[in-house]
Copies of this chain bind each other. A is one copy, B any other.
Amino acid sequence: MIAEFKRLLVGNPIETAAQHEQRLSKRIALAVFSSDALSSVAYASEAILFVLVLAGVQALPLVIPISVAIVVLLLIVGFSYRQTIHAYPNGGGAYIVAHENLGEVPGLVAAAALLIDYVLTVAVSISAGVFAITSLAATWGYSGLGDYRVEIALGCIALITVINLRGVKESGMIFSVPTYVFIISMVCMVVYGIFQVAMGGWVAAEPKVAEVAAAAEPLSIFLILRAFAAGCTALTGVEAISNGVPAFKQPESKNASTTLIWMIATLGFMFLGISTLAHYYGAVPREDVSVVSQLASEIVGTGPIFFIIQVATALILVLAANTSYADFPRLASLLSRDRFLPRQFSSRGDRLVFSNGVVALGVFAALLVVAFDAREQSMLPLYAIGVFISFTLSQFGMVRHWLREREPDWQRSVLINGVGAALTALVLVVIVVTKFTQGAWAVLVLTPILVLGFRAVHKHYQQVARQLSLEKAPRVEPVRRHTALVLISGIHRGVVPALEFAKSIAPDNTTALYVDLDAEQTRKIEEKWARWGAGIPLQVLDSPYRSLVRPIMRYIDEIDAQYDDDVLSVILPEFITSKWWQHLLHNQTALAIKAALLFRKGVVVISVPYHLEN
């Protein structure tokens, strides 16, 4: 029944041989891997204005040069990742690049930072997307929807988790439609808006001054850097494609590289366009309506096209979470294969996805949504740090790579990656400084804890491997003598096969054990034993505290001490009900005894079943 429900939810199993058919075309890959990056245009320009406005209205035009600078940074980071894609065709995530070129610890730091960021991407994007929907509902007159934001967000996370458990290709199909609706509507809006501004002779509208408070701070270099850092949220998600190279159709590297260029061009155009329009339309951050919504309503009115833009924005924000569903399980499986995470993360489920990673991501994101009441504003200070940690480590790693490999044209590559590394390191410092007290500290605390955890797991697996190695293993002697203990809870048909089994392996060395919990019962058992005991001696154990397990364990210790050359087997007669729920009606004592024996050294546990008919 559980199995059928699972089939209904996630579909039928897929053969391992079908692995290559699940690869993504460029068009679908763009939708799958770019929604995180593209969706950031919904808030990046606004984030810059939000800082600039602190210095008063006259600082607002700086949004354009700052956005240009961010696009330059974007291009540099993009070029850097293009080099990574070609150097690491099997998926060149920051973890691999940093691990190979800088060493284990930098690799693990990058991995920890990325895992944190993937969880945050899901929580932030889903929350922001749900907020867009509830805001739309509120605008259209139903303000009560906002009370259910946590429930809706959790529902969305559950839905995306299930879709991803079905497998990569199907989720790509489902997600490509809203992504392309968003891209087309956004690009059209930007083009039409710029066209109107140009027709009007490039005259900037007055910022809605009523909304703008008096300048709270002077326009300092620090403030400009802070605005720049805030706008850098536009870059989150750029690394997605380089992590996901193996999911592309062959030739993987070439297709991934082309898709990356498309994505950066689209992202850069939309981001710069919206920043420019914000200046010319005089849009400023407001409590109730986002900058992009202000632009959209001014450019296309509040009719059906406005509705489409709003819904597409909400959808791409929700779907941005999906990027993490491609990357988190893949990174977890890489860490798992290198024995830094439990093995469970490296096995593909029967739909060819890393099911455990998908489920883990969904659970962590849901916890964040509940903890932060589905308010993305509260989570934003934690966000983006992880990405810039991994950008920096990854590009320093590439610099090291080129310096070592010295391929043709290596000087140019070192220059590109070196500039990128220096710039992203600078941005990282600015983000940490400006966001530290608002929550950035939490990420800086959690990252080293995760790294220590990875190393502890790794150490454990190494110890196990060493202890299990057959090289230099002491010789195991053949079994000379069996000693058998049969645990009985009464005299019934289920006991007889267990007694026969015991006699067959230890004919002269078998004892039946019964724990005395009720004097009357014990007397009856002792009376019947002569007839039904198959000639095996019965040992009754006292249990003053009514515990079943403790007297048995004590007796086993005594017996175990008697011989040195035997194998001690504990035989449990178990009667098995025909329906699983009937199990609940019987004392789970066999289970408790097995659990206790598991951690006792050197006892073989034998379950002899007796199956009931109904």
CA A20 – CA B460 in complex, angstroms? 51
Cβ contact within 8 Å between A604 and B602: no
Interface size class of A (residues with CB under 8 A): 35 or more
Cβ contact within 8 Å between A585 and B546: no
Cβ contact within 8 Å between A479 and B463: no
* A199 close to B (CB within 8 Å): no
Cβ contact within 8 Å between A609 and B613: no
Copies of the chain in the assembly: 2
Q: Main SS of the interface on chain A?
A: mixed
CA A152 – CA B532 in complex, angstroms? 57
CA A15 – CA B610 in complex, angstroms? 34
Cβ contact within 8 Å between A464 and B575: yes
Q: Show the binding face of A for B, using Cβ within 8 Å.
A: 13-17, 342-344, 347-350, 457, 460-461, 463-464, 467-470, 473, 476-479, 482, 491-494, 496-497, 500-501, 503-505, 532, 544-547, 567, 569, 574-577, 580, 582, 584-587, 594, 598-599, 601-614
User: Using Cβ atoms and an 8 Å threshold, which residues of chain B touch A585?
Assistant: 342-343, 457, 460-461
User: Using Cβ atoms and an 8 Å threshold, which residues of chain B touch A505?
Assistant: 482, 504-505
Cβ contact within 8 Å between A567 and B501: yes
User: Using Cβ atoms and an 8 Å threshold, which residues of chain B touch A17?
Assistant: 544
A504 vs chain B, min Cβ distance (A): 4
User: Using Cβ atoms and an 8 Å threshold, which residues of chain B touch A612?
Assistant: 463-464, 467-468
CA A546 – CA B17 in complex, angstroms? 10
User: Using Cβ atoms and an 8 Å threshold, which residues of chain B touch A569?
Assistant: 606
Cβ contact within 8 Å between B606 and A611: no
CA A536 – CA B598 in complex, angstroms? 26
Partner of A605, one of B479, B503, B606: B606
Partner of A16, one of B14, B497, B545: B545
Indicate whether A546 sits within 8 Å of B504 (C-beta atoms), given known contacts A457-B585, A468-B493, A494-B468. no
CA A465 – CA B570 in complex, angstroms? 25
CA A13 – CA B546 in complex, angstroms? 9
Q: Which 5 pairs show the lowest CB-CB distances between chains A and B?
A: A468-B492, A479-B504, A13-B545, A605-B607, A476-B496
Cβ contact within 8 Å between A577 and B464: yes
User: Using Cβ atoms and an 8 Å threshold, which residues of chain B touch A15?
Assistant: 544-545
A488 vs chain B, min Cβ distance (A): 12
User: Using Cβ atoms and an 8 Å threshold, which residues of chain B touch A607?
Assistant: 594, 598, 604-606
